[in-house]
Chain A
Amino acid sequence: MTSVQLWALLPLLIATASIVATMLAIAVYRHHRFCASVTVGGMNLALIAVVYDLITGDNLAVPVTGLMTVDAAARFGMVLILVTTLGVLTLCHAYFEGYKRNREEIYLLIGLGTLGALTLACATHTATLLVGIELLSLPMVAGVAYSMDERRAIEGGIKYLILSAAASAALFFGVALIYAHIGSLDLSAMSQALSAASLDQPLVLAGAAMMIAGLGFKLSLVPFHQWTPDVYESAPTPITAYLATVSKLGVFVVVLRLFHYGSSPISPLILTALVGLAVASMLVGSLLALRQNNLKRLLAYSSIAHFGYLTIVLAVPGDESLRAAGVYLATYLVTSLGVFGVMALVSSPMGERDAEHIDDYRGLFWRRPYLTSILTAMLLSLAGIPLTAGFIGKFAVISAGVGAAQWLLVGSLIVSSAISIYYYLRIVSALFSAVAAGSERVSEPMGWAQSFGGLMLVVAMIVMLWLGVYPQPLYLLSGQLAQH
Chain B
Amino acid sequence: MVEFAFYVAGTVALFSTVMVVVNTHPVHALLYMVLSLLSVAMVFFTLGAPFAGALEVVVYAGAIMVLFVFVVMMLNLGAKTVAQERSWLTASGWVGPLVLSAILLVQLLLVLEPLQTTAPIGTTVIDAKQVGIALFGPYLLAVELASTLLLAGLVAAYHLGRQDD
Given contacts A105-B159, A148-B160, 7 further A-B contacts (CB under 8 A): A101-B162, A102-B162, A112-B152, A131-B142, A131-B146, A131-B149, A142-B156
Are B160 and A142 in contact, CB atoms less than 8 angstroms apart? yes
- B158 interfacial by beta-carbon distance below 8 Å: yes
- A134 interfacial by beta-carbon distance below 8 Å: yes
Are B146 and A138 in contact, CB atoms less than 8 angstroms apart? no
- B141 interfacial by beta-carbon distance below 8 Å: yes
Bound-complex Cα distance A142 to B156 (A): 5
Q: Write the nearest CB–CB distance from A124 to chain B, whole angstroms.
A: 11
Q: Cβ of A131: which chain B residues have Cβ within 8 Å of it? A: 142, 145-146, 149
Q: Write the nearest CB–CB distance from A186 to chain B, whole angstroms.
A: 12
Q: What is the 8 Å Cβ interface bit string for chain B, positions 132-165, against chain A (1 contact, 0 not)? A: 0000001111100110110111011011101000
Name the one of B139, B140, B146, B156 contacting A139, with C-beta atoms under 8 angstroms. Answer: B156
Are A112 and B142 in contact, CB atoms less than 8 angstroms apart? no
Q: Cβ of A68: which chain B residues have Cβ within 8 Å of it? A: 141
Q: Cβ of B153: which chain A residues have Cβ within 8 Å of it? A: 138
Bound-complex Cα distance A68 to B141 (A): 9
> Given known contacts A108-B155, A127-B139, A139-B152, is B145 in contact with A157 (CB within 8 Å)?
no
Q: Cβ of B140: which chain A residues have Cβ within 8 Å of it? A: 65
Q: Write the nearest CB–CB distance from B148 to chain A, whole angstroms.
A: 6
Q: Cβ of A134: which chain B residues have Cβ within 8 Å of it? A: 149
Are A142 and B141 in contact, CB atoms less than 8 angstroms apart? no
> Given known contacts A131-B146, A157-B160, is B155 in contact with A112 (CB within 8 Å)?
yes
Q: Write the nearest CB–CB distance from A306 to chain B, whole angstroms.
A: 27
- A66 interfacial by beta-carbon distance below 8 Å: yes
Q: Cβ of B146: which chain A residues have Cβ within 8 Å of it? A: 131
Q: Cβ of B145: which chain A residues have Cβ within 8 Å of it? A: 115, 119, 128, 131-132, 135
Name the one of B139, B158, B159 contacting A146, with C-beta atoms under 8 angstroms. Answer: B159
Q: Write the nearest CB–CB distance from B143 to chain A, whole angstroms.
A: 9
Q: Write the nearest CB–CB distance from A152 to chain B, whole angstroms.
A: 15
Are A67 and B156 in contact, CB atoms less than 8 angstroms apart? no
**Would you list which residues of chain A between 170 and 188 have a CB under 8 Å from chain B?**
none
What are 28 A-B contacts defined by CB distance under 8 Å? A16-B148, A19-B148, A23-B151, A64-B141, A65-B141, A67-B138, A67-B142, A101-B162, A102-B159, A108-B155, A109-B152, A109-B156, A112-B151, A112-B155, A113-B152, A115-B145, A127-B142, A128-B141, A128-B142, A134-B149, A135-B149, A135-B152, A138-B152, A138-B156, A139-B152, A139-B155, A145-B160, A148-B160
**Residue among B138, B140, B148, B160 having the largest count of chain A Cβ atoms under 10 Å:** B148
Nearest-CB residue, chain B, relative to A102: B159
Bound-complex Cα distance A138 to B149 (A): 8
Are B151 and A67 in contact, CB atoms less than 8 angstroms apart? no
Q: What is the 8 Å Cβ interface bit string for chain A, positions 126-169, against chain B (1 contact, 0 not)? A: 01100110110011011001101000000001000000000000
Q: How many interface contacts (CB-CB < 8 Å) are there between A and B?
A: 67
Nearest-CB residue, chain A, relative to B165: A101
- What bracket does the count of chain B residues touching chain A fall in? 10 to 19
Q: Cβ of A157: which chain B residues have Cβ within 8 Å of it? A: 160
- What bracket does the count of chain A residues touching chain B fall in? 20 to 34
Bound-complex Cα distance A462 to B121 (A): 63
Q: What is the 8 Å Cβ interface bit string for chain B, positions 42-80, against chain A (1 contact, 0 not)? A: 000000000000000000000000000000000000000
Are A67 and B162 in contact, CB atoms less than 8 angstroms apart? no
Q: Cβ of B152: which chain A residues have Cβ within 8 Å of it? A: 109, 112-113, 135, 138-139
**Would you list which residues of chain B between 81 and 136 have a CB under 8 Å from chain A?**
none
Bound-complex Cα distance A125 to B152 (A): 22
Are B159 and A67 in contact, CB atoms less than 8 angstroms apart? no
Bound-complex Cα distance A139 to B151 (A): 9
Q: Cβ of B155: which chain A residues have Cβ within 8 Å of it? A: 23, 105, 108-109, 112, 139, 142
Q: Cβ of A138: which chain B residues have Cβ within 8 Å of it? A: 149, 152-153, 156
**Would you list which residues of chain A between 83 and 118 have a CB under 8 Å from chain B?**
101-102, 105, 108-109, 112-113, 115
Bound-complex Cα distance A83 to B148 (A): 22
Bound-complex Cα distance A367 to B29 (A): 58
Q: Cβ of A19: which chain B residues have Cβ within 8 Å of it? A: 148, 151
Q: Cβ of A139: which chain B residues have Cβ within 8 Å of it? A: 152, 155-156
Are B160 and A67 in contact, CB atoms less than 8 angstroms apart? no
Bound-complex Cα distance A134 to B148 (A): 11
Are A66 and B138 in contact, CB atoms less than 8 angstroms apart? yes
Nearest-CB residue, chain A, relative to B157: A142
**Would you list which residues of chain A between 1 and 53 have a CB under 8 Å from chain B?**
16, 19, 23
Bound-complex Cα distance A142 to B152 (A): 9
Bound-complex Cα distance A125 to B162 (A): 37
Q: Write the nearest CB–CB distance from A97 to chain B, whole angstroms.
A: 18
Q: Cβ of B142: which chain A residues have Cβ within 8 Å of it? A: 67, 125, 127-128, 131
Q: Cβ of B162: which chain A residues have Cβ within 8 Å of it? A: 101-102
6 closest residue pairs by CB, A with B: A142-B156, A112-B152, A127-B142, A131-B145, A139-B152, A105-B159
Bound-complex Cα distance A128 to B159 (A): 26
Bound-complex Cα distance A134 to B162 (A): 23
Nearest-CB residue, chain B, relative to A132: B145
> Given known contacts A102-B162, A139-B156, A141-B156, is B148 in contact with A115 (CB within 8 Å)?
yes
Q: Cβ of A132: which chain B residues have Cβ within 8 Å of it? A: 145
Bound-complex Cα distance A64 to B138 (A): 9
Q: Write the nearest CB–CB distance from B10 to chain A, whole angstroms.
A: 15
Q: Cβ of B158: which chain A residues have Cβ within 8 Å of it? A: 105
**Residue among B138, B158, B159 having the largest count of chain A Cβ atoms under 10 Å:** B159
Nearest-CB residue, chain B, relative to A9: B141
> Given known contacts A109-B155, A138-B156, is B149 in contact with A67 (CB within 8 Å)?
no
Nearest-CB residue, chain B, relative to A66: B138
Bound-complex Cα distance A128 to B140 (A): 11
Q: Cβ of B160: which chain A residues have Cβ within 8 Å of it? A: 142, 145, 148, 157
Q: Cβ of A127: which chain B residues have Cβ within 8 Å of it? A: 139, 142
